[in-house]
Amino acid sequence: MNINERSLTTMSTLNAQGSRGTSNQSDEQTEPSTTLSIFALDYKKHEDLKQMLDSNKDNLKLEAMRRIIGMIAKGKDAADLFPAVVKNVVSKNMEIKKLVYVYLMRYAEEQQDLALLSIATFQRALKDPNQLIRASALRVLSSIRVPTIVTIMMLAIRDAVSDMSPYVRKTAANAIAKLYALDPELKDELVLIIAKLLADKTILVNGSAVQAFEHVCPERIDLIHQNYRRLCNLLVDIDEWGQVTILNMLTRYARSQFVDPNKIFEDEKKSFYEDETEQNINEDEDSLDKRTYVMDSDHRLLLRCTKPLLQSRNSAVVMAVAQLYYYVAPQSEIQIVAKSLLRLLRHHREIQTIILKSIVFIADKHKQIFEPYLKSFYVHSNDSSLVKRYKLEILTTLANASNISTILREFQTYVLSSDKDFAAHTIHAIGRCASTISDVTEACLNGLVALMSKKDETIVAESVVVIKKLLQINPSQYNEIIKHIVRMVDKVTVPIARASILWLIGEYSDRISKLAPDVLRKMAKSFIDEETIVKHQILNLAAKLYVVNAKQTHLLVQYVFNLAKYDTNYDTRDKARLLRALLIQTDKCPTLSKHAKKILLASKPAPILESIIRDHDQYTLGTLSFVIGQKAVGYKDLPDFPLEPPDPSVRNVEIVTPLPSQNVSSRKSSTTTRITSREKKKSVNDENFYSDEEEEEEEEEEEETSTEGPDTDNEEEEDEEDEKEKTTQNDNDTNEYEQLDAQSTNNIEPEEEEKDESSGSSEEEESEQEEEEDDDEESESDESADDEKLTPNQSSIVAKPSSTLTVSDYTIPATEKSLLEMDLEAFLGAPSTSTNVQVAPVKNNIFDDLHGLESLTSTSSNLVYTKQYDCLNRITGQGLQIQYRFPRTPFQQSPNMIHVELIFTNTTTNKDIHSIKFYKSKSNINIQGFNQIDLLPSGVSIVTSIGIDFNDKTQPASFDILYDDNLIPTSLTILCHVGELIEQKFLNDQQFNQNLGK
């Protein structure tokens, strides 16, 4: 831009600024003035805009467009400007272009012919080098809803799906739904595109792809199989809105692909399912698990991957997870959603309302999960009316014998609330509590009777109605109350309450035989002024009294019937005619009249006090239909669980995708300072490994007896890898590279120990830092670049304690790396199926064994158990005594666990103890259980090993064991003795001196 031009534009901006100021004013002024001379002004205004649009100055055009957008925003019609606006679609100025796009999306549908003029521009923009321009062109093109351009849209989408930029691909995914809405016949073609998008590797695209899937072909569940595991693993990293869509889809998927976890199967066929019930604790206990239901590993994967989403800041995500757990999880696991739902109660009022409604629904089936949080549902006086009602409903649902007294005390204050509707609802709630919990029926009734003496009409009326219902449940006990109520008939004026009282008198007239005729007399007097509902009850009362006490009342009854005969309401007239025929004109229908007493005074079933709002349980939790209580357009029920699980192998992904490179890169970042030759060797091993892995997988599929889910598989392999690395430390003679490595590891070990002793858990911290990094790389491969940048920085921190360590430092993370995967696997779900696969040549099994041997020999010769601790007293254990000790040797199955030996001793003299087995870990601590001990004869001790991951904390680990077919598990606690967390290392003289020299 040269100086002249610039000065020119400056001028025009000034003009534009000025004109904008005035135009805004005039805009506001036009509103009142339009009413005066609509046509003239409108015409003039648009003319002026047209001129601005036709000018060749961008600023004027922009100004005009801004004003037009203003008109659209206000809902005013700007359609006649279409020709003038559409010309500007070719404008080079992005700002103008954007606004023209906005205009086009609004009006293209109405002016299709003219809109076609703009298509060429979009097609050009679709090839623009800037991804944003490509994306926005596609977006507008697909949004203008002109049926004639369907083919162009199709082509554009097809191109965009294979675009380099994930943003463009995301836009393409969105466009699919729009195109489908425009022309449903294209479905088959679109499905192919969706299949392609579903397999997309970028998290940005996944959400939109699933969205398109849900729009176009939700029934094509087969498209999901291959992507299922990846979607589960990536879920945490996808954007919030995508998460909601995917969660909903996965819920549906799980309902159609897995069996009901709450049903117990005795079926032998299930045995090929791997036990994942307790997160890989009971790996060796197939025998135990056969008896109970075993969850499909993919089912478990879903539950595990969705759990962290409960901590999302987005309420829709949390709700979607809650929904998933409600419909898919085993009952014992649903409770984790409670806390998160409660957290949402602090959000905006609207969110609160819907969450509470959902809690009402969930609490109905799973009371226990909300019981600890009862107080969170106490009503604040400024809650909105809906919130109050839902809270009341929840409190009522949660009421049980133990908490009813607190709830009732709380209800007492609500009854006094100045919000009378709410007070009335509370009374109803009290009634419900009274009817369900028999302990408090009496107290509630008394309370309600007291309420009847209040001055407020609505409260009195509601109490009477509720009392009436309660009395019906057990009338014999409450003669006094009945009498009390009867005396109130004069005071109560609310029709429904009067009707209730009259019904009571009629029903229980035998107990108040003296009062009843008198009441009828009064009622006969006021009959004509009563509401219809009351009149009906007067008729009922009259009829019932006539049956029991005709002598005293027959004249009154006649009189009432006559009054009713000429009533304006035909229901009343009909009722009177019916009763008259039944009672007085007995000749007309003798058979019925004979049984008049039986008919009228038949014992009526007590009413069930129903919830006021529980009326739409039939819809899926959390959906729109659920909230409005009617079927919304496009609502579909969740499918029921299949009885026989569909083939789970469809989800196996055959080819493990391009991992070697990723692996190397992740390693690179953790060992940035030096890429050892070992690294290279590893990547060679990678290839080895993958072929092995595939073979293994295939084998498993063929046999269909795979006792390992994919996860446990990996864990094992990781273990192997781990072992391998340890082996390399000990086997100094494999080759040169190893030698180098071994040396460095040897160097580090003593240092490591020293450090441990001196500074507690610093090692763990470091390694975890590393872990975290790896972690990030795997999950968010996008971020790896940044993390790489960070690594050197951290490494310098790591190296600080002793500068000599710098070189060898990274061997620790290398060994520790697999720990991380374990943890991840166990707790969070691995970031993606592909990255799970670790470098672990199968041949290492041999090394593994060797190493095992070695460690055995080395330790056994040196074993000095310092101390044994009691964890089950022989008295409490009914003869079974359990002690534990820390052998200070590495735990074979998992390197991040501490090896603990349990000594089971049968101290009884004549009784054998059978089947001692590990049941489950109680705290969140990961425990590797022991093999079941089938028989422990009296006087014999057996030593078994367990592994405990104390997770760098000194919290005691507690777990349950079962023995002797006791159904109640016995819980054991193993304290974490600080000194025992250290691993013993042995050095020969040479190594020691070597280290000393450094």
Binders in 276-315 for other proteins, by CB under 8 A:
308, 311-315
Measured between alpha carbons, how far is 178 from 183 in angstroms, rounded to an integer? 9
At 747, list the tokens.
């160097």
Residue 824 binds to other proteins (criterion: CB under 8 A): yes
Residue 735 binds to other proteins (criterion: CB under 8 A): no
In angstroms, give the least distance from the CB of 171 to other proteins: 7
Measured between alpha carbons, how far is 230 from 228 in angstroms, rounded to an integer? 6
Using the rule CB under 8 A, which residue among 397, 426, 572, 623 binds other proteins?
623
State which residue, 376 or 558, has the beta carbon closest to other proteins. Answer: 376
Tell me the three state secondary structure of residue 611: coil
Scanning 349-357, 528-536, 593-601, 720-728 for contacts with other proteins by CB under 8 A, the matching segment is: 349-357
Using the rule CB under 8 A, which residue among 548, 627, 942, 987 binds other proteins?
627
Measured between alpha carbons, how far is 534 from 551 in angstroms, rounded to an integer? 24
State which residue, 102 or 653, has the beta carbon closest to other proteins. Answer: 102
In angstroms, give the least distance from the CB of 606 to other proteins: 31
Scanning 546-554, 592-600, 632-640, 801-809 for contacts with other proteins by CB under 8 A, the matching segment is: 632-640
State which residue, 10 or 873, has the beta carbon closest to other proteins. Answer: 10
Scanning 9-17, 190-198, 914-922, 974-982 for contacts with other proteins by CB under 8 A, the matching segment is: 9-17
In degrees and rounded to multiples of 5, residue 328 shows phi and psi of -120, -25
Among residues 295, 363, 352, 364, the alpha carbon closest in space to that of 318 is found at 352
Residue 410 binds to other proteins (criterion: CB under 8 A): yes
CB 552 within 8 A of CB 517: yes
Using the rule CB under 8 A, which residue among 506, 622, 660, 890 binds other proteins?
622
In degrees and rounded to multiples of 5, residue 666 shows phi and psi of -70, -35
At 677, list the tokens.
């030759």
Please give the distance of CA 385 from its chain centroid, rounded to a whole number: 27
* Binding track, positions 226-255, relative to other proteins; x by CB under 8 A: ----------x--xxx--x---x-------
In angstroms, give the least distance from the CB of 247 to other proteins: 9
At 627, list the tokens.
């909230």
The amino acid occupying position 95 is E
In angstroms, give the least distance from the CB of 793 to other proteins: 5
Measured between alpha carbons, how far is 933 from 330 in angstroms, rounded to an integer? 28
Using the rule CB under 8 A, which residue among 90, 117, 150, 386 binds other proteins?
386
Q: Which of residues 635-674 bind other proteins (CB under 8 A)?
A: 635-636
Kindly report the number of other CB atoms within 10 A of residue 401's CB atom: 11
Residue 219 binds to other proteins (criterion: CB under 8 A): no
State which residue, 6 or 565, has the beta carbon closest to other proteins. Answer: 6
Measured between alpha carbons, how far is 331 from 308 in angstroms, rounded to an integer? 18
Measured between alpha carbons, how far is 307 from 247 in angstroms, rounded to an integer? 11
State which residue, 135 or 481, has the beta carbon closest to other proteins. Answer: 135
Residue 213 binds to other proteins (criterion: CB under 8 A): no
State which residue, 191 or 344, has the beta carbon closest to other proteins. Answer: 344
Using the rule CB under 8 A, which residue among 9, 400, 458, 672 binds other proteins?
9
Among residues 237, 167, 243, 169, the alpha carbon closest in space to that of 199 is found at 169
In angstroms, give the least distance from the CB of 182 to other proteins: 11
Q: Which of residues 165-194 bind other proteins (CB under 8 A)?
A: 165-167, 170-171, 174, 177-178
Q: Which of residues 922-951 bind other proteins (CB under 8 A)?
A: 951
Using the rule CB under 8 A, which residue among 41, 90, 150, 342 binds other proteins?
342
Tell me the three state secondary structure of residue 423: helix
State which residue, 686 or 770, has the beta carbon closest to other proteins. Answer: 770
In angstroms, give the least distance from the CB of 69 to other proteins: 5
Measured between alpha carbons, how far is 199 from 176 in angstroms, rounded to an integer? 16
In angstroms, give the least distance from the CB of 137 to other proteins: 13
Q: Which of residues 129-168 bind other proteins (CB under 8 A)?
A: 130-133, 139, 142-143, 145, 165-167
CB 763 within 8 A of CB 220: no
- Side by side, the strands of the sheet bearing 970-974 are 933-936, 913-921, 957-962, 970-974
Task: Provide the H-helix boundaries in 400-514.
Answer: 404-415, 420-436, 441-451, 457-473, 479-487, 495-507
Matching residue, tokens 């041997």 = 853
Residue 385 binds to other proteins (criterion: CB under 8 A): yes
Measured between alpha carbons, how far is 440 from 473 in angstroms, rounded to an integer? 14
State which residue, 182 or 975, has the beta carbon closest to other proteins. Answer: 182
* Binding track, positions 91-120, relative to other proteins; x by CB under 8 A: -xxxxx-xx-xx--xx--x-----------
* Binding track, positions 774-813, relative to other proteins; x by CB under 8 A: -xx---x-xx-xx--xx--xx-------------------
**Please, what's the b/e burial string for 196-227 (b: 16 or more CB within 10 A of its CB; e: otherwise)?**
ebbebebbbbbbbbbbbbbbbbeeebebbbbb
Residue 74 binds to other proteins (criterion: CB under 8 A): yes
Q: Which of residues 435-464 bind other proteins (CB under 8 A)?
A: 454-456
Residue 964 binds to other proteins (criterion: CB under 8 A): no
Using the rule CB under 8 A, which residue among 628, 650, 846, 978 binds other proteins?
628
Residue 416 binds to other proteins (criterion: CB under 8 A): yes
Instruction: Give the largest CA-CA distance in the chain.
Output: 124
Using the rule CB under 8 A, which residue among 371, 457, 692, 823 binds other proteins?
823
Residue 389 binds to other proteins (criterion: CB under 8 A): no
In angstroms, give the least distance from the CB of 159 to other proteins: 18
Q: Which of residues 857-896 bind other proteins (CB under 8 A)?
A: none
Among residues 743, 686, 975, 985, the alpha carbon closest in space to that of 858 is found at 985
State which residue, 583 or 826, has the beta carbon closest to other proteins. Answer: 826
Residue 373 binds to other proteins (criterion: CB under 8 A): yes
In angstroms, give the least distance from the CB of 43 to other proteins: 23
State which residue, 272 or 373, has the beta carbon closest to other proteins. Answer: 373
Using the rule CB under 8 A, which residue among 418, 568, 758, 876 binds other proteins?
418
In angstroms, give the least distance from the CB of 109 to other proteins: 7
Residues in the interface with other proteins (CB under 8 A) total 131
**Positive or negative, the Cα torsion across 900, 901, 907, 911?**
positive
Scanning 90-98, 283-291, 468-476, 850-858 for contacts with other proteins by CB under 8 A, the matching segment is: 90-98
| Residue partners of 643: CB distance under 8 A and separation at least 6 | 259
At 593, list the tokens.
């009249």
In angstroms, give the least distance from the CB of 385 to other proteins: 5
Question: Can you list the pairs that 143-149 forms with residues at least 24 positions away whose Cβ atoms lie under 8 Å?
Answer: 143/105, 143/178, 144/104, 144/105, 144/108, 144/109, 144/115, 145/108, 145/109, 145/178, 145/182, 146/108, 146/109, 146/112, 146/115, 146/116, 147/112, 147/182, 147/183, 148/112, 148/116, 149/116, 149/119
Residues forming beta bridges with residue 869, ordered by sequence position: 884
State which residue, 61 or 888, has the beta carbon closest to other proteins. Answer: 61
* Binding track, positions 31-70, relative to other proteins; x by CB under 8 A: ---------------------------xx--x---x--xx
Measured between alpha carbons, how far is 995 from 618 in angstroms, rounded to an integer? 72
State which residue, 738 or 776, has the beta carbon closest to other proteins. Answer: 776
The amino acid occupying position 711 is D
